[in-house]
């Protein structure tokens, strides 16, 4: 199955998600947060840098819990766009 290329908006959403997680992680190491969430440090690195802009729901839920974010906060940050950005 061939995956449809991501839109610019989807890439921006992934970048916003990564920035949110990076900011919430603060001074804690990637290894510490990844271990607490049950994911690899490489997975967290890819999400934080936007190289994995569409991670699985349960991965995001686990990471959010590990950094003390609610899923509402994550959803609000990911959906932060204007209509023009979405249409692009």
24-54: b (≥16 Cβ within 10 Å) or e: bbeeeebeebbeebebeeebbebbbebebbe
pLDDT in 10s for each residue of the chain, 88 residues? 788 888 998 899 999 999 999 999 999 999 999 999 999 999 999 999 989 989 999 999 999 999 999 999 999 988 765 444 444 4
Q: Which two tokens stand for residue 2?
A: 């061939």
Domain positions in the chain:
8-87
Question: Has this prediction a pTM greater than 0.75?
Answer: yes
CATH architecture of 8-87: Orthogonal Bundle (1.10)
Chain Cα centroid distance, residue 46: 9
């Amino acid at each position: 199955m061939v995956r449809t290329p991501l839109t610019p908006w989807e890439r921006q959403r992934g970048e916003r998600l990564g920035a949110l997680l990076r900011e919430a992680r603060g001074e804690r190491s990637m290894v510490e947060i990844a271990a607490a969430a049950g994911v690899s440090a490489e997975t967290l690195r890819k999400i934080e840098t936007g190289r994995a802009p569409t991670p699985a729901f349960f991965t995001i839920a686990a990471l959010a819990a590990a950094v003390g974010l609610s899923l509402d906060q994550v959803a609000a940050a990911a959906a932060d766009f204007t209509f023009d950005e979405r249409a692009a």
